[in-house]
Structure 1
């Protein structure tokens, strides 16, 4: 029997499962950057419709995403992840913000390559269209750059990811769901796998 999945809004009682997904998804992140069960409960309190979980047939949470509303200055986009999410408490959520900021997506390793991340992106895009927001922004971790940093600049790496010459485990997937790369964030996280770098990515609401 083929396993099926469904997307729901995250609930407070899922918080420990959500933290487990976070830790399994980002084993190289320092402890201070990881989202804990208490953080997830705060996210749900601040912006419940922007928090998503994917359940399998048994009701186990196998993936999740975190989002908040914000305004965006596209001329000044360099920022750190922890500043954007107020150290994972999401208190910078602006109920009047016209952009959805994708703070995080995590999928349990055993459930990857099954279209689950795409389900979460689809849920985010549906939320954006329902709320009439301008679009979706995020810092896409350049997860493959750590393996190439001694051989090429971050600019060269991003160009090759854009053209498809190189596959980045995170950003290449995001490009496939309609994002474009607006620029490079040099000090986004403390993670050697991406040399701390991310792409500032944008998805525009086609209804606007």
Structure 2
């Protein structure tokens, strides 16, 4: 079972933080964090429900991780294993995650796919999201998978979509002339771009695009 502790800094004060697998006892807190982390116009039907969370902790508990401070859940990250073919990268979030229910989890697959990551807003300056992602990298290595993969939102794209194509927007983020709240965060976490995916998720801020980004297992060639 995955469990580690470390100190994160809040207002220059070290705070002991635990990273562990989440359980049924955490469901109410996890759903509350989803509501707080993804307010409208993010579609409310994409917030976790208890049936989805139950599947996460029973089908693939190794991919159901959370961060906790003083007994309070402050963030979570969820994944499943899929068989990914880099030559055919296009898919939707709903297809590859089974709409968040992960019934399509493939224990014999080659890729840990990120279903979701969220951190309660008051704790985002502590670097919780980055360390949750790091914990999933450790899971990739532990399970001897080829990569971690996921489609990130592009919430900054709608502001410039009238003047830039999606490829221009991505290139601008990569060359530093623009910042995107999600893509820039994932770059800081060590993820590298694969390609933008059209109609990945119903999300007006992203113009329904998702940015497919990966982290390759450094102990394997893939």
- Per the TM alignment, residue 142 of structure 1 is displaced from its structure 2 partner at its CA by 1.0
Once the two structures are overlaid, the 10-residue window that deviates more, 89-98 or 26-35, is 26-35
**Cα distance between partner residues in 1 of 2:198 and 2:125:** 28
* 118-127 vs 148-157, which moves further: 148-157
Matched, 1:47 2:56: no
Runs of 5+ consecutive residues of structure 2 not aligned to the other structure = 1-12
Distance apart, 1:55 and its partner CA:
0.3
Matches of 2:62 and 2:55, distance apart in 1:
13
Further displaced range: 120-129 or 15-24: 15-24
1:32 is the counterpart of 2:48: no
Match of 1:126 among 130, 134, 138: 138
Q: Is the 8 A contact 1:188 1:197 kept in 2?
A: yes
Q: TM-score, normalised by structure 2?
A: 0.89
> Which runs of structure 2 are paired with 1:110-121 in the superposition (5 Å)?
110-121=122-133
Structure-1 separation of matches of 2:119 and 2:55: 20
Q: Is the 8 A contact 1:128 1:205 kept in 2?
A: yes
1:9 aligns with 2:53: no
Q: Give the C-alpha shift of residue 155 in structure 1.
A: 0.9
Q: How does 1:143-182 map to 2 (within 5 A)?
A: 143-182=155-194
Runs of 4+ in 1 over 2 A off after TM superposition: 1-4, 31-34
Q: TM-score, normalised by structure 1?
A: 0.95
1:23-59 Cα distance to aligned partner (Å, 9 max, x none): 2211132233222122112111100011100001x21
Aligned residues, how many?
A: 207
Q: Separation in 1 of the partners of 2:123 and 2:163?
A: 32
Q: Which has the higher strand share?
A: 2
Q: How far apart are residue 113 of structure 1 and its match?
A: 2.1
Contact kept, 8 Å, 1:53 with 1:65, in 2: the verdict is: yes
Contact 1:101–1:136 (8 Å) recurs in 2 = yes
SS in 1 for 2:138: helix
Q: Unaligned 5+ residue runs, structure 1?
A: none
